[in-house]
Homo-oligomer: A and B are copies of this chain.
């Protein structure tokens, strides 16, 4: 795989991004530095590079895919209110480790997990014990950003 300027920029931008941008967000940021880059190129390269293991697609709920500059797996927290995705502290990674190798004949190859949160900025002014408790599996549909 050739390291084109576009690819270099994409990795750079993705690695240095503290958040986990969508293709579109990434595209917007890249345009500042490479105005003629196209969204299709961003998509194509995100795909290629995640296939190559250079970056990771974040496979999780939400209507827009997000990407992660770090190739090594770690847990994410998603804000159910604004859709932002953040890295979770490493200690939490070990939580679901007791999975059997096989369940009802189906070969277990892994798992996905995501912690749902209301992030600090969405949580502004909300008293510590409020509603928004019964989210979990609903209310996190398509709202990104």
Q: B-contacting residues of A (Cβ < 8 Å)?
A: 50-51, 56-57, 59-62, 73, 77, 79-80, 86, 88-89, 92, 95-96, 98-99, 103-120, 123, 132-133, 135-138, 140-141
Contacts and interface: CB of A to CB of B under 8 A. Distances in A.
Nearest to A68: B137
A112 B77 contact: no
Contacts of A106: 77, 79, 86, 117-120, 123
Contacts of A57: 137-138, 141
A108 to B, nearest CB: 5
15 contacts: A50-B138, A56-B138, A57-B137, A59-B137, A59-B138, A59-B140, A60-B60, A73-B136, A77-B103, A103-B117, A107-B123, A108-B116, A110-B136, A111-B115, A111-B116
Contacts of A86: 104, 106
